[in-house]
Chain A
Amino acid sequence: MSWQAIAKKDIKDSVRSKGLWVLIGAFLFFILLLSWAASPGAASDPETVLASVGFSYFFGILFFVPLAGLFISIKSIARERESGTINLLLSLPHSRLDMVLGKFVGRSIVMSIAIFATFLPANLYLLTQVGFDGDALFVMFALLLAIVLFGLMFVGIGVGFSALVSSETKATAAGVGLFFFLYLWIFIVELLGISTPTFVDRFWLFAVFSDIVLTLVGLWDGGIGNPSVVWGASELASFNIEEGVASPAFYMQDWFVFPILAFWILTPLAIGYLRFNQADL
């Protein structure tokens, strides 16, 4: 398979980037510091572990993962175009689709390496604080998997936009712009006075990450189909004591975060590819 050769080459190339290791080193320190600050003392049930991980830890994730994901991916194609290495790559029997796919897979693996290098030590440290029982282990594993899945969202967006731009400078600008946009769009929509259904809130990165974690943790309790984190607030407002809490529509259930995640990954990749496929290099 053609894209596999590209992904392999790309991983070999990326892991030799000094910038990547500086980023990982800085965040490893940062996350360990947060973990230490958030460590709850002895407690072992999953809810307590999750709660004890605390908001500060979540914010660490919500800052590091988009930043690292975009940093790793935003130049992936633009850099090859600007330097001319793309002329070597596309002289070989690879299509431009192979290149986009290979870049996405390669950078996703690099992103996973970065996440493991950063969060595995932090999670192990937290486990020493709460005790190594099955529940805690599962929650930590679920959290790590959730961070990886969440990371793919930014790799998809980054590779997609990298295929859209023709220079490294534009790619950097796109990366910075996207970083802020992905946090702020929901507030911008609100400021503009556009009223949107609650469903739209599910696309916000905070909701995406929380729903992935809750869905995965829910698997341990055998519960699937719980409401999304964004569901509560609006439904509570119209809470009717006689009817109780109605089960949410399927698109407001926690697991529906996976189609949303797929949307975030595939839409930028598809747009980027279609444009890139028509471009003169």
Chain B
Amino acid sequence: MSAIELQGLSKQYGSLTAVDGLNLQIPRGEIFGFLGPNGAGKSTTINVILDFVKPTAGTASVFGMDCQEEGKQLRQRIGVLPEGYDVYDRLTGRQHLEFVLESKQADDDPQQLLERVGIADAADRKAGGYSKGMAQRLTLAMALVGDPDLLILDEPTTGLDPNGARQIREIIREENNRGTTVFFSSHILGQVEAVCDRVGILREGKLVADDSIEGLRANVPGGENLVVEGTGFTEDVISTIRAIAGVESVDERQSGEIIAIGVSEEASKTAVLSEIEEAGATVSDFSTEEASLEDLFAAYTTTGGAQA
């Protein structure tokens, strides 16, 4: 039985399709990174799992329980850091946790949970006075109550400094070592690559990739940038370069002077360079760099990018 299973899941808001026939299976014990640019449908997918929104078509289930029919029972077994939430301004951090403890009939120690997320000293202050990062930590502590079998974290590192983001990743690993399945979304690849067993990339409501980071890298042809310095990189020249066989992308790094050309493995860099000169530009220097994961992500999520 999968931790999460989505079958043909679609959600339409009027004429806008937020999620489009999504199929996804997340086995137990996995850390799954749900990637995609803002507006790709990540939060809508999570909101269907949490029964905040009703799907237009398809089904979602968690541990075999239907998200629409058995939401209450399944939420007993999960911990959630939702998107677009707010804390109760007039309640203290401790009171938030007491509410969750009572709701889940759990008996964790609130102080210990607050220590774990690093806001123990603010336990008895009203959450209305918390910074965005502290509210995020409090909500994470709430998600950890009752040792959930599945953690669903929607953009957990929003509002956190790099140190806070690292602490969150540590907590994710600790929970996973305990056997917890982790499903977390982000629009930043760097947050995901360090901890995830598997990554799914969502674009315009569709899953465009579902693989390990290594698998993703292998699936993108080329994965190399040819960085060319020189003069005369006019728009005409750039469109000529785009048309060269083996060129996947052209990115102007400094207008008219430095361009980065994504080339496939089969392409001959020398041939590309000579074609640039033929087109009327002057090349003074060039270098190659391996495509970073950020480029890879961009390739998946921008229109006209690589198709795996």
Contact = CB atoms under 8 A, between A and B. Distances in A.
Q: Is the interface of A mostly helix, strand, loop or mixed?
A: helix
Interface string B92-123: 00011001101110000000000000000000
A12 B96 CA distance: 11
A91 B75 contact: yes
> Which one of B47, B50, B71, B86 has the greatest number of beta carbons of chain A within 10 Å?
B86
A84 B52 CA distance: 11
Given A2-B103, A280-B53, A91 B90 contact: no
A6 B51 CA distance: 18
A13 interface: yes
A278 B95 CA distance: 30
Contact of B84 (A2, A8, A84, A280): A84
B54 A90 contact: no
Interface in A82-127: 83-85, 87-88, 90-95, 98
A90 B100 CA distance: 11
B91 interface: yes
Interface residues of A, number: 25
B86 A5 contact: no
A281 interface: yes
A91 B13 CA distance: 22
Give the size range of B's interface with the partner: 20 to 34
A94 B50 contact: no
A229 to B, nearest CB: 41
Interface in B63-97: 71-73, 75-76, 78, 80, 82-88, 90-91, 95-96
Interface in B23-71: 47, 50-54, 71
B102 A88 contact: no
B29 to A, nearest CB: 22
Nearest to B84: A84
Contact of A281 (B53, B78, B87): B53
Contacts of A4: 102
Task: Give the interface centre of A84, A85, A88, A281 by most chain B CB atoms within 10 Å.
Answer: A88
Interface string A125-149: 0000000000000000000000000
Given A5-B103, A94-B103, A281-B53, A12 B91 contact: yes
Contacts of B87: 85, 88
B83 A87 contact: yes
A91 B83 CA distance: 11
Contacts, number: 78
B54 A278 contact: yes
A87 B117 CA distance: 20
B71 to A, nearest CB: 7
A98 to B, nearest CB: 8
A17 interface: yes
B139 interface: yes
A275 interface: no
Given A16-B90, A84-B85, A85-B85, A93 B103 contact: yes
A9 B91 contact: yes
Contact of B52 (A8, A17, A83, A280): A280
B102 A87 contact: no
Contact of B99 (A9, A98, A280, A281): A9
Interface string A1-41: 01011101100110011000000000000000000000000
Interface string A143-186: 00000000000000000000000000000000000000000000
Contact of A91 (B82, B91, B96, B102): B82
B54 A91 contact: no
Given A92-B104, A280-B53, A281-B53, A85 B90 contact: no
B100 to A, nearest CB: 6
A93 B86 contact: no
Interface in A193-235: none
A81 to B, nearest CB: 10
A93 B76 contact: yes
Contacts of B90: 13, 16-17
Contacts of B104: 92-93
B213 interface: no
B102 to A, nearest CB: 4
Nearest to A98: B72
Contact of B102 (A8, A98, A281): A8
Interface of B: 13, 47, 50-54, 71-73, 75-76, 78, 80, 82-88, 90-91, 95-96, 99-100, 102-104, 139, 142-143
5 contacts: A6-B103, A9-B88, A93-B72, A95-B71, A281-B53
Top 8 closest A-B pairs, CB basis? A91-B80, A280-B53, A87-B82, A87-B85, A16-B90, A84-B86, A5-B102, A93-B76
